[in-house]
Amino acid sequence: MRSIIINKYGGPEVLEYVEMPKPVAGRGELVIKTKFAAVNPADWKVRQGNLKIITGRKFPKTLGIEASGIIDSVGEGVSSFVPGQHVFAAKDYTTGTYSEYFKISEKNVLLLPESMPFEDAASIAVTGVTAYQCLLRHGGIEEGMNVLVNGASGGLGIMSVQIAKILGATVSGVCSSKNVEFVKSLGADTIIDYTKENILDSESRFDIIIDSAGNLNLKNAKKLLSKRGIIIKVNISMQTIRELVFTSKFSSKKIKLVLMRVIKEDFQWVRDQIAMGNLKVYIDTVFDLKDCKKAHEYSETLRAKGKILLKA
């Protein structure tokens, strides 16, 4: 089978399109024939070596943490799935989905509704589930809260705006001039065009700030928060870790770092909202698997409006 691997950390040039042995399902595992794998910023951060505390130094590595596909085979002890079923899956950072086939625990797999395209399904986990967990499990969102989404036209931002509206919040979205109408179409109540105004000058106060753009911190955005407001970050940095430790002990205003966790009921909620038409997936570009380098280069521009996918 054809796979994308890395044999060292570095730029897009370290991505290799190679032949690898097809995996064999072990006990409690499935082998999935990949239809689409998503490209996320976490993938190229792994490739760069920024998450080596998690991924280690053992090579080769296959990147990718979410995908959709068809069950090819099942291992011993698997009773909930059979070959031929359409599914989507989320993996950890140590082994990946950039491959024609991948192996995964049945615990990390959910069935697809018949009406859901594979493209949409490959986009559920990292943006949809992360946004849901940021807002509900970490932000404690309640109806009527004020939510600010910084980077509202990116993958996580698109889902955050829509999910916050589904959960009854008033939503402000930060984006550039060219994306104003798009973010309005997602349901945002107010738009802050960062090319024309400084978000830090806003007179509004927010209960939850989702900083998917990564350029806010507690020091510069503290005044934007309500009395017990929270800034939720999805990008690991030493400054975020320091602020997280400080605010956990000394401040009513908090900052949290969120990494997506595989919680089945969260995946089911997002999947069902998409299936019912309440939550829309936006695909920016689809690349062939062999063109993974181009996909990473594009993702690193941070200009994609929606998801970037690899077609296996």
What is the CATH number for 180? 3.40.50.720
Q: What's residue 237's pLDDT?
A: 56
> Which of left, alpha, beta for 168 (phi over 0: left; psi -120 to 50: alpha)?
left
Beta strands in 155-282 (DSSP E): 170-175, 190-193, 206-211, 225-233, 254-257
* Domain shared by 136 and 230, yes or no: yes
Let me know if residue 218 belongs to a domain: yes
Tokens of 184: 């309005």
Cis before 83? omega within 30: no
Domain residues for 214?
Answer: 126-257
Question: Closest Cα partner for 294 from 9, 46, 4, 85?
Answer: 4
Same domain, 296 and 201: no
**Is-contact 256 232, C-beta < 8 A?**
yes
Total domain count, the chain: 2
Pair 33, 70: CB distance under 8 Å: yes
For residues 16 and 130, give the distance between their C-alpha atoms in angstroms, rounded to a whole number: 29
Shared domain for 186 and 139, answered yes or no, is: yes
One digit per residue, the tens of pLDDT, for the chain of length 312 reads 999 999 999 999 999 999 999 999 999 999 999 999 999 988 998 999 988 877 888 999 999 999 999 999 999 999 999 999 999 999 877 779 999 999 999 999 999 988 899 999 998 888 999 999 999 999 999 999 999 999 999 889 999 999 999 999 999 999 999 999 999 999 999 999 999 999 988 889 999 999 988 888 777 888 899 988 999 988 665 555 665 555 555 556 667 777 788 888 999 999 999 999 999 999 999 999 999 999 999 999 988 888 999 999
195 and 86 assigned to the same domain: no
Q: Is residue 276 part of a domain?
A: no
In a domain, 133, yes or no: yes
In a domain? residue 68: yes
CATH number of the domain at 42, please: 3.90.180.10
What sign does the CA torsion over 102, 14, 261, 39 have? Answer: negative
In a domain, 270, yes or no: no
Give the 3-state secondary structure of residue 28.
coil
Residue 273 lies in a domain: no
Global confidence as pTM: 0.89
106 and 160 fall within a common domain? no
Beta strands 101-105; 29-39: pairing state: antiparallel
